[in-house]
Amino acid sequence: MTTASIVRSIVEFAVGALLIVGFIYERKFIAFEEKMARIIAIVRRELRADKQEHISAEQRRELEHRQRQQILDSKCSNPTRSTRGYSGSGVYRSSVSSSNSRVA
């Protein structure tokens, strides 16, 4: 006999023994199954709630980070001076380019 056939025989014997025990103690086995089903349902519900709390906390942190970033951006920009049309050299550009303003 090979090792695989020995292991297979042991597993088949265990399954048969468990079936017989299951028939003998059927009521207790059903009660055990129902108890385990309730426990599994409770654990799954708690895990799902923990996951939701984790996601909510992560979303709150992200929102707070965005708000802080907006505050910093607003403090860094100068609201009294408009940069629209500003070339950076102290001269404001007109909205019409110089090539378009020449008359031929």
Name the residue with higher pLDDT: 55 or 7: 7
Amino acid 35: pLDDT: 95
pLDDT, tens only, 33-51: 999 999 999 999 998 888 7
Contact assessment for residue 58 and residue 48, using Cβ atoms and an 8 Å cutoff: no
Ordered by start, the domain boundaries in the chain are 3-76
Phi, psi of 86 (to 5 degrees): -85, 125
Q: How confident is the model at residue 90 (pLDDT cuts 50, 70, 90)?
A: low
Sign of CA dihedral 34, 39, 44, 46: positive
